[in-house]
Amino acid sequence: MPLHLDARLRAGDDPASANVLGTLLQERGLTGRSFNNGLLRFHNAASGQAAVQAVAPRLGMDSADVTPVAFDWLGRQLVAVDRDGESLALLVDGARESVDELCTVPQLFSLLSHEEVDEVFAGTAFTMWRASNEVDALPFSDCVAFITPLNRGGEDSLANTRQEAVADYWQRLNTAA
């Protein structure tokens, strides 16, 4: 299912976010916006800055070379980086210690408008989690976090999850076991 704007879920829009996000999101009016009940949220200045601090070391990059784009319901970070002269969209999953190259940044917004968005961001599992936990929508700052991250032997199941602030989750993921 393509992305649909959550009219009632929105984080504050910080006019200083252009310094953190560049113009990628602001041109499209996406900063601080949530889609599909929290399936995917586009960063604002505060969440973007926290994402860069959490993700850049995992990518072996300076924070200045990582542009935060969005994060999904599992707390995975969608960032843009330049590699070999090409701007790429990466999905960084701290619980799995994986980095997936999704597409080029120019292709990103096309990808997000198609049915593949449900597959890329595990929309069916998110719907199941929301139903089993009686949650209508995730607040902008929260994600569904693995209690025991997969890279530490945790089970890839909804039973091994809880709602947690994205910033707290990434701090926990980046702390040695």
Coil vs helix vs strand at 156: coil
> How many residues are given for the chain?
177
Q: What is the pLDDT of residues 121-176, one digit of tens each?
A: 999 999 999 999 999 999 999 999 999 999 899 999 989 999 999 999 999 999 86
Asked whether residue 19 carries a pLDDT value surpassing 50, the answer given is: no
Question: What is this structure's pTM?
Answer: 0.87
**pLDDT band for position 104 (cuts 50, 70, 90):** confident
Chain segment 40-69, per-residue pLDDT in tens:
998 888 898 999 999 999 999 999 899 888
pLDDT at 87: 86
If 0-12 CB within 10 Å is exposed, 13-18 middle and 19+ buried, where does residue 88 land? middle
Least confident of 28-32, 107-111, 147-151, 167-171: 28-32
Contacts of 173 (CB under 8 A, 6+ apart): 54, 94, 95, 149
Residue 22 scores a pLDDT above 80: no
- The mean pLDDT value of the chain amounts to 85
